[in-house]
Structure formats: C-alpha cells, structure tokens
Amino acid sequence: MKKKIRKTFALLATAVMGMVLFTGCGAASSPSSSGETAEKKESAEDEGNFDGTVSIAGIAPLTGSFASWGEGAENGYNLAIKEVNAAGGVKIGDKSYKLESAVFADDKSDATEAASAYNNCSSYDVSAVIGSCSSSCTLSFVETAQKSGMLVITPYSTNATICKTGDYIFRECFSDANQGPTLAKMATDEFKATNIAIVAAEDSDYCAGLAEAMEGALDSTDGVKYEHYGCVTTDTDYTAQISKAIEQGAEVIIYPNNYDTVPNFVQQARDAGFDGPILGGDAWDGTDVTGYEDKFNNCYYLAHVDLSADTEAVKNYVSAYKEEYGSDSGLNAVSSLYYDSIKMLVKAIEEAGSTDPSVIKDALLKTTYESMGGTITYDENGDAVKPFTVETFENGNLKYYGSF
C-alpha cells in the first residue's frame, strides 16, 4: 500500500558574482529600488558613534503568493537591525560598528526572481545574505553563494538539501529531515494512527521533500500503513484525494503544503465527513481561517515559535514589534525567524572578531543561540538543532498545543 515520491529540485543556474571579502567594515551602499527605501533604512537604525559599518542584505517575498510572509520578514529584519544599533552596534574587539542593510530584495515568491534578488544582494559588499522563505527560492541561489564564498542564513526554508550545498549555507529554522519524522511521530504516537493519508504538492521542493521525509519515517514504523496522494500547488479541488483517504480508512491526514491552500483543503475534508486530525508543517503559519473557524478544530501544525508564549523573549519581541509598526500586521513566525537570524549573525560576527564570511561561518557553526523558539545549536551541515512547537486551533483561534 505504500507509495514513494521523488523530491523535485529547482536549482537554477545563476552567474557567479565577484565580491570582495573584508575584515573591517562593509562599504556604504544606497538601497535598490527592489529593496528597502531610504526612509525605512533610517527608521531601522539609530544614529550613534560608530567606528564603521557592517553591511548585510535580505531576501523575502514582498509581493506574490506569500507576501504576508515577506511583510513579517522585512519587519523582523529591520527591527533587529534597529535594536542592534541601539545597543551599541556590532562589537569587534574594542570597536563598534553600525549594522546596515545594503538592500532587502523581493523574490516575488518565484525561484527565477529569487536568483535575481540574490545577484542584487551579492553585488554589494556584504557579510551575509539573510533569506529566503520558500525552499524553491533559496535553492535557486545557494550553489552560487557557496561557490562565491557568500554566507547565507535562510530563516524559513526547510528543504533538507539546502545546507548540504556547502559550508557557507546555514538555516535558522529546522530542516525537513527532522520535521518530516516529527510529523510522522505525531500521527503515530500522539494520535495513535496506524492508517495515514498524505496529500502533498509534487511540484514544490518544500512539500515533496517534507512528504518524502515523513514516508521514510513511516516506512520504519511497525504496524503502520500509509498512502500518498499527489496534488500540485495550483489545485483548488481536493475531493478526489480526500475521498480516497476516507475510503482507505485513514485515521489521520497529513497535508504538508503552504498556508494559502490550507483553508480550501480543510474545508473540503470536513465537508466530506473526515473529522479526524489533520496535520501540517511549518508552512501552515499565516493561515487565514476566517469563515472556516469550526472546520479547523482538530487541526495541528509544527511551528518554530509560539508568539503567545508567556516568555520574556516572546513578550519583548511582540511588544517591540507592535510599537515599531503600530499594529500586529505581519507579526508571525517568519518575522521572528528573520529577527533571530540577524541577532544570531551578530553574535557570530562578534565571536569571530571579523566581518569576513569565511571566518564568520566557522564561528556560526560553534554558536549557541537562545532564540524565541528555544536553544539553537548547529550540526556539521549548518542545520539548526532546535525544539518543535505544535500549534492548534480552538474555534478559529490559534492556540499552543505543546512541544514535540
């Protein structure tokens, strides 16, 4: 009964940009039209007495299908920069450097655009590029970055192959190599399922990779059977896959797809009579349940952080975010991951005593960082080792379920 799927890869060839590695401070640069404006840049940094500058760049989907992620990403990124500078900047030896963003580029939720966005970022004299969100977008430029010696930290791309590209590539989020088995374990241990259906988009590096990782874990679990029903990211009708899942007697459905498709799928599953648990991956973050509130009871997804947590780190971030931007628009897990990626990078630069990416990467590999979602360390591939948060819904309201 078990079926396999192949991961798809969206590695696109991009030109290798020449760049200057530096050990002092980054070159001052003006914002690009595809990145942040001068007004945003000024609001993100406090003026002070600094010995120079350290420049970085960012990439996120500011437009396109995942623009709500991009709003939070840019806001979290800029808030972190502002706080670093307000606290005295980046401290290297007995000097303090102002942290600056050379550009924050829009990948438009598209892999080809992401490759162009990376080329834009790497044309500046920067110590690191922070981005992007979608695995397909990040996969489009990490090989180029590795070849050119550019340090990349992806806050939100979980495809398991990303950090295997090379030693300049890191992630702040967890990997699908860990997320997939955790979803499988939730289904079998937490919900005692022995019959599972997986519905995953086969044209997405994220969805296909996560499904494959789940299946690998289920293959080694005794007494469990599962079926995989494929779909694509543009599907709006899932009645065929859901009918087959119900027909097979599935006790749990796992839907490891992006947030923009989740309400449609959950509604159709509930309307078809499936009232069992529906599980999702971290890309469920940002799902709009308006009009579907009652459908989302008994739905759960893996998250990087619970922004309702009663911890000092989370409360301080939420408060600072709302004060800075005047509302909670874009206040999501993605925003916190970009924020933490900046703070983690600064910690590594200070521990390295250098702004040279070839030196920072070695320090980053040894870094222990207290993120909002828990303690982060790195394995030998540059993959973050961190705890999982599980979120659920109660009458349409997001609620912390537990840690896994």
pLDDT at 20 (0 to 100):
32
- Domain end marker among 269, 287, 303: 303
Asked whether the predicted pLDDT for residue 15 surpasses 60, the reply is no
| Position 8 in a domain | no
268 found inside a domain: yes
Mark whether 247 and 294 lie in a shared domain.
Answer: yes
Note whether residue 83 is domain-resident: yes
pLDDT at 10 over 60: no
What secondary structure, in 3-state letters, does the chain show?
A: CCCCCCCCCCCCCCCCCCCCCCCCCCCCCCCCCCCCCHHHHHHCCCCCCCCEEEEEEEEECCCCCCHHHHHHHHHHHHHHHHHHHHCCCEEECCEEEEEEEEEEEECCCCHHHHHHHHHHHHCCCCCCEECCCCHHHHHCCHHHHHHHCCCEEECCCCCCCHHHHCCCEEECCCCHHHHHHHHHHHHHHHCCCCEEEEEEECCCHHHHHHHHHHHHHHHCCCCCEEEEEEECCCCCCCHHHHHHHHHCCCCEEECCCCHHHHHHHHHHHHHCCCCCCEEECHHHCCCCCCCCHHHHCCEEEEECCCCCCCCHHHHHHHHHHHHHHCCCCCCCHHHHHHHHHHHHHHHHHHHHCCCCHHHHHHHHHCCCEEECCEEEEECCCCCEECCCEEEEEECCEEEEEEEC
Q: How many C-beta atoms lie closer than 10 Å to residue 52's C-beta?
A: 16
pLDDT tens-digit profile of 69-125? 999 999 999 999 999 999 999 999 999 999 999 999 999 999 999 999 999 999 999
Q: Would the pLDDT of 383 be above 80?
A: yes
To 10 degrees, what angle do helices 333-352 and 312-325 make? 110
Predicted confidence (pLDDT) at residue 64 exceeds the cutoff of 50: yes
Average pLDDT over residues 361-390: 95
Q: How confident is the model at residue 386 (pLDDT cuts 50, 70, 90)?
A: very high
pLDDT 10s digits, 205-217: 999 999 999 999 9
Query: In terms of domains, do 238 and 353 share one?
Result: no
Q: Name the pLDDT band for 46 (thresholds 50, 70, 90).
A: very low
Asked whether residue 194 falls in the same domain as residue 210, the answer is yes
Residue 282 lies in a domain: yes
pLDDT digits (tens, 9 = 90+) for 109-126: 999 999 999 999 999 999
Residues 93 and 167 grouped into a single domain? yes
As a whole number, the mean pLDDT across the chain is 89
> Where is the domain boundary, 277, 303, 329?
303
Residues 6+ apart with CB under 8 A from 140: 10, 11, 12, 14, 111, 112, 114, 115, 118
Asked whether residue 108 falls in the same domain as residue 123, the answer is yes
**Of the ranges 1-10, 293-302, 352-361, which one carries the lowest mean pLDDT score?**
1-10
Q: What is the mean pLDDT of residues 25-49?
A: 42
pLDDT of residue 403: 85
Decide if pLDDT at 41 tops 50. no
pLDDT at 42: 44
Residue 12: its pLDDT value, please? 33
Under the banding of pLDDT at 50, 70 and 90, the label for residue 366 is very high
pLDDT at residue 369, as a whole number: 97
Residue 56 reports pLDDT greater than 90: yes
Residue 17 has pLDDT above 80, yes or no: no
**Residue 266 pLDDT exceeds 70:** yes
> Is-contact 334 73, C-beta < 8 A?
yes
- pLDDT value for 181: 96
* Whether residue 193 is found in the same domain as residue 256: yes
> Which pTM value belongs to this model?
0.83
Q: Does any domain span residue 13? A: no
Please check whether residues 315 and 170 belong to one and the same domain. Answer: yes
Domain boundary at 269, 303, 337, which?
Answer: 303
Q: Which pLDDT does position 48 carry in this prediction?
A: 65
Residue 17 lies in a domain: no
The verdict on residue 273 lying in a domain is yes
| Parent domain of 72 | 38-174+311-385
pLDDT tier for residue 47 given thresholds of 50, 70 and 90: low
Does the pLDDT at position 343 exceed 80?
A: yes
Task: Quickly state the pLDDT bin for 25 (edges 50, 70, 90).
Answer: very low
Residues 94, 142 within the same domain? yes
* pLDDT value for 404: 80
Q: 35 pLDDT exceeds 70?
A: no
Number of domains into which the chain is organized: 2
CATH number of the domain bearing residue 135: 3.40.50.2300
Same domain, 223 and 333: no
Q: What is the pLDDT of residues 157-197, one digit of tens each?
A: 999 999 999 999 999 999 999 999 999 999 999 999 999 99
pLDDT at 18: 37
pLDDT for res 93: 94
Decide if pLDDT at 292 tops 80: yes
11 part of a folded domain? no
The residue with greater pLDDT, 330 or 43, is 330
Residue pair 131/154 in contact (Cβ under 8 Å)? The answer is yes
Are 169 and 316 found together in one domain? yes
If asked whether residues 96 and 216 sit together in one domain, one would say: no
Both 267 and 335 in a single domain?
Answer: no
